[in-house]
Amino acid sequence: MSTSQIALLASVQQFLDRQHGLYIDGAPCAAQSENRLTVWDPATGQAIATTADASPADVDRAVMSAWRAFVDRRWAGRTPADRERILLRFADLVEQHGEELAQLETLEQGKSIAISRAFEVGCTLNWMRYTAGLTTKISGRTLDVSIPFPQGARYQAWTKKEPVGVVAGIVPWNFPLMIGMWKVMPALAAGCSIVIKPSETTPLTLLRVAELASEAGIPDGVFNVVTGSGAVCGAALTSHPHIAKVSFTGSTATGKQIARAAADTLTGVTLELGGKNPAIVLKDADPAWVIEGLMTGSFLNQGQVCAASSRIYIEAPLFDTLVSGFEQAVKSLSVGPGMSPEAFINPLVSRAHCDKVQTFLDEATARNAELITGNRGPDGKGYYVSPTLVVNPDAALRLTREEVFGPVVNLVRVSDAEEALQLANDTEYGLTASVWTQNISRALEYTDRLQAGTVWVNSHTLIDANLPFGGMKQSGTGRDFGPDWLDGWCETKSVCVRY
Ligand code: NAD
C-alpha cells in the first residue's frame, strides 16, 4: 500500500469550506430548499462539503433563467466566431485551474490524482477545444426542389441549423467533470442554454467550472448548475416544460425512466447508458498487448467506466498463459487513496456503491467461484474493493450478466472464436467491445459481427473527441462526439422561397 499523498492547494480547501448553493444567472446563489446533501471523501469516509438539495422551485428558477437567456438570443445571437473565441477562453481557464479541479475531483470521487489530471482535466480540455471549433462549422445545405405548382414557379430551398433551446444535462458520478463538459460544450457550441445537474455524490467540480464559464464571458443564464437528488431535482429538471432536450448519462434503469417522462412531451433525448462489455481474445493475440490493454480497460477508475471490459473471452490455447499473466498483473497493482499518485487502485465512489459491488463478490464466493484477488486497501477506512479476476464464472452468477461497475473482470475459456462471439453478443447491452488478434481479416470480421456502438481491435476503452461514441441495444440512443456532434443539439429548419 502506498501512503505518500500530495499537498492540498489552498484554493481547494477554500472551495470545500464554502456554503455551496446553486449556480443561476451567472452567479452562485442560495437554494430555496433548506435541505443539504453531504459530499464524502471516499478515501477516508469523512464529510468534506455539503451542497444544496434543490427543490422543484429551485429547478424552475434555473430553467427560467436559461429560457430567458435563450429567447433573448444573448448567446445564440452572437456570431459563431465570437462563441468559439469565448469557449476557447473558457478552456484556457479550465487549464489554468487544472490542478485545483483535479484535486477536487479526486477528493469527491476517489479516483487517482494522476487520472484526474490526465482525464478529468487533460481529456476534458481536448474535448473543449474540439467542440469550440465546431461552433464555426455549423452549416446547412442548399437543395434543389421539384415543386410543380403553380406552373412555372421557381424556388430556392435550403436548410439551416438552429439551437434546440434549453438543454437539461444529467451527469453520473464516475467522470463528473469530463462527462459534465460533454454536455455543456456541445450545448454552448450549438448556441443552446443549459441547466446541468451533477450526481449528488460528486457535485463540486461542475459548480466550480460554472464560475470559470462566467469569467470567460459566457453570458449570464446560459450555463446554470442545480445540485440535488435524482428523484426530485433530476426529475423536475428533465420534465420541465421549457426543456427542449435531455442529455443523460447514467444507468440504464434511470435512462428508461427519463425516456418515459420525455415521451409525454416528445422531448428529445440522448441516452448514454450502461454496458457489460466483452473482449474476445483469439489464440494468435499478442499476450503482452492483451495484458497491458485489458488491465487498463478493466481496472481504470476501479472499473467504474461505462466502456470498461468486464467479460474477457479467451480461446483455449492462450487461456492458461493469460490467466497467469493477469494474475501477476492484478497482484502487482498498488491500492491506496487517490491523493497518493502511485496508487493505481483507489476507493470506489461511495459506501453504497462499495457495498453493492461487494454483493456480487459475496454471491460468487458463496457459490465457490474461483476468485483471484489483488491487494487490499488500507484497513478500516475508505470504500475499497480489491481488484478481482473471476475465472470461468458459472453462468447463473449475477456478475456474468449484470454491470458490476467495479474492479471485477471475468476471464472465460472458450473453445473457439465462434463460441466467444455468441457469448459476447448474448447481452441486453451494446456499448463497447474489443477483439484481440494479429489477423487483420478476422479482426475486421469481428468488428462487423460484434453488436456494440464502438469496437476496438487490440485496444479497449480508448475514446476520442472526433470519434462518435454511444450505445446499441439497452446501452442507449444517440451518439456523442465526432464532426456531426452538434446535429443532436440543433433543429434542422427548412426554408423554401418562391422567386
Ligand atoms: P444513475 O442512473 O444512478 O444516476 C445518473 C444521474 O441521474 C445522477 O445525476 C442522478 O442524480 C440522476 N437521476 C437519478 N434518477 C433520476 C430521475 N428519475 N430523473 C432524472 N435524473 C435522475 O447512474 P450513476 O450510478 O450515477 O452512474 C453509473 C452508471 O452510469 C453506470 O450504469 C454506467 O454504465 C453509466 N455510464 C454510462 C456512460 C456512457 O457513456 N454510456 C458513461 C458513464 C457512466
For 17-71, what is each residue's pLDDT tens digit? 999 999 999 999 999 999 999 999 999 999 999 999 999 999 999 999 999 999 9
How would you classify residue 49: left for phi > 0, otherwise alpha for psi between -120 and 50, otherwise beta?
A: beta
| Distance between CA atoms of residues 24 and 19, nearest Å | 15
Residue 418 neighbours by CB distance under 10 Å: 10
Residue 450 has, within 13 A of its CA and on its CB side, a CA count of 28
The CB-based long-range contact list for 443-446 (8 Å cut-off, 24+ gap) reads 446/280, 446/417, 446/421
List the end-to-end C-alpha distance of the chain, in Å, as a whole number: 77
d(CA 463, CA 454): 9
d(CA 262, CA 471) in angstroms, rounded, equals 19
CA distance linking residue 460 with residue 497, whole number of Å: 50
Task: Check the CA dihedral 352-357-358-363 and report its sign.
Answer: positive
Q: What is the pLDDT of residue 206?
A: 98
Nearest Cα residue to atom 42 of ligand 1: 306
What's the confidence (pLDDT) of residue 379?
Answer: 86
How many CB atoms are located within 10 Å of the residue 15 CB? 21
Per residue in 163-185, is it b (16+ CB within 10 Å) or e — as a string?
Answer: bbbbbbbbbbbbbbbbbbbbbbb
Give the pLDDT of residue 381.
Answer: 84
Q: Which parts of the chain register pLDDT below 70?
A: 1-3
What SS3 string covers 156-199? EEEEEEEECCEEEEECCCCCHHHHHHHHHHHHHHHCCEEEEECC
Q: What is the structure's pLDDT at 3?
A: 62
Q: Within 6 Å (CB) of ligand 1, which residues are found?
A: 170-174, 179, 197, 199-200, 230-231, 234-235, 238, 249-251, 254, 257-258, 272-275, 306, 403, 405, 431, 471, 476
pLDDT of residue 216: 98
Q: Which three cell numbers stand for residue 307?
A: 466502456
With the most atoms of ligand 1 within 8 angstroms of its CB, the residue from 59, 249, 304, 309 to mutate is 249
Is pTM beyond 0.95? Reply is: yes
Q: Distance (Å, rounded) from C-alpha 281 to C-alpha 300?
A: 19
Cell of 266: 416528445
Catalytic: 306? yes
CA 239 to chain centre: 22
- Locate 398 and state its grid cell: 449475477
Residues 6+ apart with CB under 8 A from 79: none
- Select which of 123, 233, 306, 354 is catalytic: 306
* Active site (annotated) includes residue 272: yes
C-alpha cell at 155: 424556388
Q: How far apart are CA 493 and CA 483, in angstroms?
A: 19
Of 63, 92, 85, 62, the C-alpha closest to 189 is: 85
What is the biggest distance separating any 2 CA atoms in the chain, rounded to whole angstroms? 85
Calpha distance 387→344 (Å, rounded): 10
Amino acid at 339: M
